[in-house]
Structures are given as C-alpha cells and as structure tokens.
Structure 1
Amino acid sequence: MDSEALLRLLQLASPTLPVGAYAYSEGLEFLIQTEQITNAAGLQNWITAELMVGAIRVDAAIGIRAYQGQVKGDLTSIRYWNHWLTAARDGEALRQQSLQMGRSLWQLFCDLEPETQNFNPQEFHHFAVAFGRVAGAWQIDLEQAILGFLQSWTSNLINAGVKLIPLGQTQGQRLLLTLHQPITQACAEILNLEDDQLDSCSWGLSLGVMGHETLYSRLFRS
C-alpha cells in the first residue's frame, strides 16, 4: 500500500473518526453488569467468538461488496446489499446503531470530498456499506481495508470493556495485541465468503443488546 492509501486507512479506522462508535457497547454493558463477562479473558473469548462466527463477519462481507460496487461504479449492487443488511440486521438497537454510524460516516466523507458531485450526503447507508464505499473511493487495498474495519471494531469493544469491567489501559492494549491473530484469520475467511455463505451465529449478541434496554443505569447506547 502506498503512503497516501495507508494514511487514509488510518484515518478511516481511527477511534477519533466522528461517527459515534464510542457510544455503543453492542451488548457488553449488559453482559458485564450481569457478570457473564468479568475479566480480560472473558472479554477476549467474547470478541474472538464474534470474529469467528458473529454478525461482524457479515458486516465485513457486506463492506467488501460495497467496496467492489464502488470501484465498479455499480450503485445498483451497493443499494441491494445495503437493503439486504437492513433485512438481515437482528434487533432494532443494532439496526439503528449501524444506520446512525453509516449516516455519520457518509456525510463526513461527502464533506471531505465536496468536489465529487455524484455523491448524495443524504443517501442512507449502513456503517459497513459506507466504510466499504469510502475505502473503495480512496483506493485503499481491499484486504487492508477489511483488516482496518475489524481492528477498529475490536478496539471499540475493548475500550468499552476497559471502562466497564474495568480494565487498565495497558491490559486493554495487551488484549488488542492478543486478538491480532483472530482478526487476521477472520479477515482471510471473510474475503472468501460467497453470497450464499453470509450467515452468522449472533443470538448471544441479540440477547445482550435486548437485555441492555432493561438495565437500571447505562453508560452506552447498546
């Protein structure tokens, strides 16, 4: 990857990207409050399982298809997969999270690239779709873009765990290093998924997000 593409990927995957990712725990807050996750090892097991069989795999796979559609100029394909992900998203909270983050990223991209006239900042996108489109438009290598997508998602959940369990910052960074191998493995598998293989085992995530709504006090939105 050339220096410009690398810098764009670092910007796109940065935790400082103003899309609101920090506001979501994706069910972790419920799992931690109910003591189903109590330490770094439990958080590692949860994130690893999500990377291997969870909904994030489907999100990343849709991001790949959005990337390919952007490179080819195939808006029909992009819209198809965007609607497909809306139908596949399990639970209102997760759907709203995905759409809010996607809307924020797409509006930001349109503000950063005002000379591109054929982009409508009001067009609705799931976050994975917006991420894929931006990565394609910025000519970031596809595999590296998916690695960045998965690493950014993992970092966000670790940051939530650091606040909620709580964990020390060093322990959180050690956990992120430990998860490099599952991230790399998941990326390699996701890149080879066919359309009829886009499934996941995400009932634990769904139950965690639904349980989050019943908590007495909450730091996060999901």
Structure 2
Amino acid sequence: MMPKAALLRLLQLASPALPVGAYSYSEGLETLVQQGTLPNADAVSHWLEQELRRGGVRLEAAVLLRCQAAMGDGDRAALQYWNQWLSAARDTAELRAQSWQMGRSLSRLLQSLHPELEPAIAVCLPHCNFAAAFAIAAAYWQIEPEAALLGYLQSWANNLVTAAVKLVPLGQTAGQQILLNLCPSLEAAAHSIAQLEDENLATSSWGWAIASMQHETLYSRLFRS
C-alpha cells in the first residue's frame, strides 16, 4: 500500500483546489456542446471514454510517467527531452497554451513550497508542461507512478465533467454519475498507458483537435479552450 503521506500529497496534487487554473479550460468541449454534439450526460460520458482510449490525454499521461522516471533517475536531459516532446505533440495553440500555463502555475507553486526543486524545474523552462510539473511533484513527494497516473487522469476527467455540468448543462448528480461510471475506463486507460513503448506514442483524436481549433472563433465563450 502507498504510504499515507504520499496518498495525502496525491490528493492535494489532483485536487480541484490546486491553484493552476484548470477550471478555466474545456479542451474543446465547449465547442462540441454549442454544436449540439454533446447534448446530454450519455454523450459526454461517451466522449470522455473515447478520449481515454485514443485522445491526447494518453500522451500527457505517458509523458508524465517518463518525466517521473527521469526525476527518479536524476536524468535531467530526459526530463527536458520529454517536456519538449510534449510541447511539440500538442495539436493546437490553445491546448499548448493551456498546458504551458498550468505547468507554469504548478512550477511556481512547487518552487515556493520546495525551493530545492528549482534546478529540476529550470530544465523545463521556459515552457514547462503541466504533465511534466505534475511528474516533478509526484517524484519529489514519493508518489508511486501508477497512483500518480491514476490521479492525473482522474483530475483531467473531473475538470471536464465540471465544465460539462456548466455547459450542457447537467445536474451535479449527473456529473458525479459520469465520474463514477468512468472508473473502469480510467483504470483501463492507466493500465494501457503504462504499457506504451516510446515508438507507440500516438493519438487518433482529430475531432478533438478540430473542436479545439474552432473554439477560439466561437461567438460566446465561458472557457479559455
């Protein structure tokens, strides 16, 4: 079992209260809702399941594991490489800006809490992705990689369900039902991502990318992506 201290730190890292601005992003979901593609809870649940199977969050989570391993090995060159790789793999400017902004916010928080992490964070500058910053924190707080991976995925799902509750709109109970129903998909995705070899890091989420591209031209927007 994971030590209680590490579990508490994971809960803090994956909490919606983490001051990184995750609540201000919908990752294209706002576009899909306005277009009528996601009119109800079942559609939102299906979309999230497909993203876990084929979407960009898989790349983020896979890079998280590699960055956490690099931190454990003291391999700052690998940490820098995978952070830059993820920046290059972003499908749209909005998604890249989101990852950089959240990564910058978490990096600043970590440096305030643990100044000794500054050298590790510095290799990811000027643009530290959120997954890389999350990995740095997880490694330093001695959170097991499997648990960090699940925490990252659950945090991602929680943020998008919260956005869907506002946008569709859905009731709070419906939102919690979606999260509960996603548990098997989150577990399956974590297992699959942990098995990915470097040469198999790819996505098939062109619809998600197009929705993100179209978001910046929406007439009315509640979210930044």
Of residues 141, 160, 171, the one that matches 1:157 is 160
Kept in 2: contact 1:110–1:119 (CA 8 A): no
Question: 1:39/1:141 Cα in 2 relative to 1: closer, same or farther (>3 Å)?
Answer: same
Alpha-carbon separation, structure 1, partners of 2:114 and 2:209:
36
Q: How does 1:179-218 map to 2 (within 5 A)?
A: 179-218=182-221
User: What is the aligned partner in structure 2 of residue 27 from structure 1?
Assistant: 28
- The amino acid that maps onto 1:46 is W
Indicate how the Cα distance of structure 1 residues 117 and 56 shifts in structure 2: closer, same or farther if over 3 A, else same. Answer: closer
Per-residue CA shift, 1:60-97, capped at 9, x if unaligned? 00000000001111000000011111111111111111
Query: What is the Cα-based RMSD across aligned positions, in Å?
Result: 1.2
1:82 corresponding residue in structure 2 = 83
Of residues 115-124 and 21-30 in structure 1, the stretch that sits farther from structure 2 once superposed is 115-124
Change (3 A) 1:13 1:183: same
The superposition leaves residues 101-121 of structure 1 with CA deviations (integer Å, 9 ceiling, x where unpaired) of 011111111111135563456
Percentage identity across aligned positions? Answer: 51
2:128 aligned partner: 125
Amino acid in structure 2 at the alignment position of 1:159: T
- Aligned 8 A contact 1:58 1:199 in 2: yes
Corresponding residue for 1:108? 109
In 2, the alpha carbon distance for the partners of 1:109 and 1:5 equals 16
CA offset digits 1:29-79 (Å, max 9, x no partner): 010011010000000010000000101001000000000001111000000
Quick one: distance in 2 between partners of 1:78 and 1:118? 12
Paired position in structure 1 for 2:178: 175
Contiguous gaps of at least 5 residues in structure 1: none
- The 3-state SS of whatever aligns with 1:118 is helix
Partner of 1:49: 50
Residues 128, 218 of structure 1: CA spacing in aligned structure 2 closer, same or farther, 3 A cutoff? same
Give the count of matched residue pairs: 222
In 2, are the aligned partners of 1:32 and 1:164 still within 8 Å (CA)?
yes
The one-letter code of the counterpart of 2:189 is A
CA gap of 1:198–1:117, structure 2 versus 1, over 3 A, is: closer
Q: Distance in 2 between matches of 1:157 and 1:23?
A: 10
**TM-score after normalising by structure 1:** 0.97
CA-CA distance at 1:25 after TM superposition = 0.3
Shift in Å, 1:213: 1.3
Q: Which residue of 2 is the match for residue 8 of structure 1?
A: 9
Shift in Å at residue 192 of structure 1?
0.7
Q: Could you tell me which amino acid in structure 2 is paired with residue 155 of structure 1?
A: N
Unaligned runs of 5+ in 2: none
Q: Which moved more, 1:161-170 or 1:108-117?
A: 108-117
TM-score, length basis structure 2:
0.96
Kept after mapping to 2: 8 A contact 1:150/1:183: yes
